[in-house]
Copies of this chain bind each other. A is one copy, B any other.
Amino acid sequence: MREIIKGFQATSQDDYQLNVTNIIKHAARNYGGQEIAARRPDGTMFRYTYREAYERMQRLANALKGLGAVVGDRIGVLAWNTRETYEIFFGVPGTGSVMLLLNLRLLPQQLSWVVNHSSPRFIIVDESLIPLAEEIAAESQKVEGYIIITDKDIRDIKTKLRPVYSYEALLAGAAPQFNWPNLDEKSAYAACYTTGTTGRPKGVYFSHRQLVLHTLAALVEYGMTPSQGRFHREDVYMPMTPMFHVHAWGCPYTATLSGAKQVYPGRYAPDVLLKLIAQEGVTFTHCVPTILQMLLTAPGSKDVDLSKLKMVVGGSALPRSLARAALARGIDVFAGYGQSESCPMLTAIHLTTKQLSEEPERQVEHRTNPGLPAPLVDLRVVDADMEDVPRDGKTPGEIIARGPWLTMGYLNNAEASEQLWAGGYLHTGDVATWDANGFIHIVDRLKDIIKSGGEWISSIDLEDIILEKKGILRAAVIGVRDAKWGERPMALVVLDPEFTGKVEEDAIRDHVRSYVDKGIIAKLAVPERIMIVKELPLTTVGKIDKKVLRERYQRQEAA
């Protein structure tokens, strides 16, 4: 199919490759004096410039070469949101080695499985995570070495890991300039494993080309909005999702190419994040709803000015009550939609100037909608035959997508890859409606939808309604088996500590019923079982873990 243009001899232009090295090179050359601030484990701040960070990335690349790493090798990373992780984000893939981001919240046996499945030659380990690395290592013997991120002399580190190297000593001993290879843009750049709903973790890989295109398109998405949720060069960026979770949603790369100041919080907790927002003047961040909720309710939160913060919320649906609470604090909060398989950006909402002048409750409605597809993302909502469902805002279907940066499939898992890409589109497993303007409205995860008496009940809608009631902090709705209806919704509710004992299950049910009376939900959607619980289980990336809830309460039902 490729047409060779007559009259053109191949020149070096033809060999231009989209790879991550070009991002950092550009930033270091043109914004070399820009600041990166990083919190040390002791709470003090470390500061350096893009230029200095780039030099350390080159030292890291030379160090890896010195250890014998070659193009295609996997290099594992077990670390927090530190500046060293940021250095690794460029220093490792730039050499042609593949960055394998390990989810430090997985169980040790899961991580051992991941390591054996993906075969990293070396693993870079934060000193504080050595005990976890040792547990992993007990079940995965092929790793050739561990590189420890520590301020200490490596001889003073007590560990069973063998052999060990000091990240700092390796960098100190390496040359400050690296001759980056002109990597083929379709070679792998990074991988991370998702904890699927069933079975083993699944590994998604992305190529250099995909990451670069994701970076450009994200900057377009966040640059083209007239004002709401806008990212620009003078913003101050800090990640509030783990960097092992789809490389912090790609945002460290977008921040770097734009030349913005960056803040790395290390191992973070809500109080640390609040302090850094105030101290470093953070203006742009991203997180899952749970983190936002923690940020708003943490002790001392009310004393921190959050009115300059822009925040994209993804990973799970953004509840209206949470959006309302964030807006009340002055946060420019808005929804984005994506998943690990999609690198992750698929959509984001950006309000028009006209929408920004609408009344607050209408804004909440807009801001919790996932919005329009990002540039070049081809998103469809389809039925079981992959035909588009009507764009009527009410017929549900599955969201499928094509675009320049979607994973090709799951590593070493042909069957799951085929399912993921059935019919030439990536199947998201999310159910949505869409309207005539192309806006999608997510109904539920396909696996979370409650199928009751032939009808589909959205767990997200029910949670949103329950959270509207004063005194309720978190809510999860799951389907439990029912002999008559197939499934029935069940609600698990966590109360705001101040309201302990003051909200009863019946009152919640009455609250939900009032939405039946208003014609918003069907009668069948009212949960018979509502249970007030102390806490809800979270997944490793901070979402409510409905798989665990289903297992727990199905079992009770069966018992």
Cα-based distance from A292 to B465 in the complex (angstroms): 57
Identical copies in the complex: 2
Asked whether A3 lies within 8 Å of B184 as measured between CB atoms, the reply is yes
Instruction: Determine the chain B residues whose CB is within 8 A of the CB of A212 once the complex forms.
Output: 376
Contact with B along A421-444 (1 / 0, CB 8 A): 100111000000000011000000
Residue from A5, A205, A234, A378 having most chain B Cβ neighbours under 10 A:
A5
Cα-based distance from A231 to B418 in the complex (angstroms): 41
Asked if A9 is at the interface (CB within 8 A of a chain B CB), the reply is yes
Instruction: Determine the chain B residues whose CB is within 8 A of the CB of A25 once the complex forms.
Output: 378
Residue from A182, A220, A225 having most chain B Cβ neighbours under 10 A:
A220
Interface residues of A in 194-214 (CB under 8 A from B): 203, 205, 207, 212-213
Asked whether A216 lies within 8 Å of B375 as measured between CB atoms, the reply is yes
Once A26-B375, A72-B3, A421-B12 are accepted as A-B contacts, the answer to whether A226 and B220 lie under 8 Å apart by CB is no
Asked if A509 is at the interface (CB within 8 A of a chain B CB), the reply is no
Asked whether A7 lies within 8 Å of B233 as measured between CB atoms, the reply is no
Once A220-B257, A408-B14 are accepted as A-B contacts, the answer to whether A96 and B3 lie under 8 Å apart by CB is yes
Asked whether A3 lies within 8 Å of B438 as measured between CB atoms, the reply is no
Asked if A44 is at the interface (CB within 8 A of a chain B CB), the reply is no
Cα-based distance from A186 to B207 in the complex (angstroms): 18
Asked whether A29 lies within 8 Å of B408 as measured between CB atoms, the reply is no
Asked whether A234 lies within 8 Å of B223 as measured between CB atoms, the reply is no
Cα-based distance from A181 to B1 in the complex (angstroms): 10
Cα-based distance from A438 to B259 in the complex (angstroms): 13
Asked if A130 is at the interface (CB within 8 A of a chain B CB), the reply is no
Asked if A483 is at the interface (CB within 8 A of a chain B CB), the reply is no
Asked whether A3 lies within 8 Å of B223 as measured between CB atoms, the reply is no
Once A352-B234, A403-B16, A421-B12 are accepted as A-B contacts, the answer to whether A26 and B376 lie under 8 Å apart by CB is yes
Asked if A414 is at the interface (CB within 8 A of a chain B CB), the reply is yes
Asked if A409 is at the interface (CB within 8 A of a chain B CB), the reply is yes
Asked if A307 is at the interface (CB within 8 A of a chain B CB), the reply is no
Instruction: Determine the chain B residues whose CB is within 8 A of the CB of A257 once the complex forms.
Output: 220, 375
Cα-based distance from A402 to B17 in the complex (angstroms): 11
Among residues of B, the one whose C-beta sits closest to the C-beta of A352 is: B234
State the Cβ distance, A423 to closest chain B Cβ, in Å: 9
Instruction: Out of B3, B71, B223, name the residue touching A224 (CB < 8 Å).
Output: B223
Interface residues of A in 1-57 (CB under 8 A from B): 1-3, 5-14, 16, 18, 22-23, 25-26, 29-30, 32-33
Sample of 27 A–B contacts (CB below 8 Å): A1-B183, A1-B184, A1-B187, A2-B187, A3-B96, A3-B186, A5-B408, A7-B203, A7-B411, A7-B413, A8-B417, A9-B418, A13-B421, A22-B378, A25-B378, A26-B377, A26-B378, A213-B216, A219-B220, A219-B223, A219-B375, A220-B257, A222-B223, A225-B233, A226-B233, A226-B234, A257-B375
Extra inter-chain contacts (14) besides given A13-B421, A26-B377, A234-B352, CB under 8 Å:
A3-B71, A3-B184, A5-B411, A9-B417, A10-B408, A12-B421, A14-B408, A23-B376, A26-B375, A216-B220, A219-B223, A220-B258, A224-B231, A225-B233
Which 5 A-B pairs give the minimum distances between C-beta atoms? A223-B223, A7-B412, A2-B184, A12-B424, A3-B187
